[in-house]
A and B are shown apart, each in its own frame.
Chain A
Amino acid sequence: DVKVTQSSRYLVKRTGEKVFLECVQDMDHENMFWYRQDPGLGLRLIYFSYDVKMKEKGDIPEGYSVSREKKERFSLILESASTNQTSMYLCASSGQGVSNQPQHFGDGTRLSIL
């Protein structure tokens, strides 16, 4: 089974801090994604990556950056955390080249910015 592991289930940070969320997948997937999930809203794509050192902006990239130095690891960075970035963050991965492959999700990091 595909396993996508997010480093923290719960995280509390202060406004202005630089925050790192880590995600690792064990299936040699080329594609990796970061989403945020808020009540009443569907999952929204922040950034995604098709390959090592590649990144593409999603629908809501403002205030975030990403890093993909190794194929299995995709990091989301909040450059200067703000209270409106309090949310559930979900990482996902999928294989390359087949449009009907499911995205496999981690269990999320619930981030609170105080």
Chain B
Amino acid sequence: KNQVEQSPQSLIILEGKNCTLQCNYTVSPFSNLRWYKQDTGRGPVSLTIMTFSENTKSNGRYTATLDADTKQSSLHITASQLSDSASYICVVSTIRETDKLIFGTGTRLQVFP
């Protein structure tokens, strides 16, 4: 069964600190992996999209990594800011149905001053 699992479920860090969120997937055949940020009461916003051949991709202070062999991805946030408080959702698509995305349940990040 195609699944996406994220850890931890929730995380609290202090402003200025770094953190790493994890994503494991069992989706096959793999097409791409996406990270979305969802602020409370808003829709998800795309941060990165990575294909099989990409190991790392950055978007400002957000850096995503992908290990297609172990089917793991991580999202690293550098020098966290209060505005980083949000849910971060890992999403995977298959080659067969690239628009039918498989969503993780998200990691809820809270950044405190």
Could you list which residues of chain A lie within 8 angstroms of chain B, going by C-beta atoms?
4, 31, 33, 40-45, 48, 58, 90, 92, 94, 99-100, 102-108
Give the CA-CA distance A89 to B103 in the complex, in Å.
15
Are the CB atoms of A103 and B101 closer together than 8 Å? yes
Are the CB atoms of B42 and A99 closer together than 8 Å? no
Binds A, one of B12-20, B62-70, B72-80, B92-100: B92-100
**B: number of interface residues (CB 8 Å):** 23
CB distance from B66 to the nearest CB of A (A): 13
Are the CB atoms of B4 and A42 closer together than 8 Å? yes
Q: Which of chain A's residues have a CB closer than 8 A to the CB of B89? A: 42-43
CB distance from A97 to the nearest CB of B (A): 10
Q: Indicate if B82 sits at the interface (CB-CB under 8 A).
A: no
Are the CB atoms of B93 and A102 closer together than 8 Å? no
Are the CB atoms of B99 and A42 closer together than 8 Å? no
CB distance from A95 to the nearest CB of B (A): 10
Give the CA-CA distance A40 to B101 in the complex, in Å.
17
Partner of B31, one of A4, A42, A99: A99
CB distance from A67 to the nearest CB of B (A): 19
Q: Which of chain B's residues have a CB closer than 8 A to the CB of A100? A: 32, 49, 51
Q: Which of chain A's residues have a CB closer than 8 A to the CB of B93? A: 99
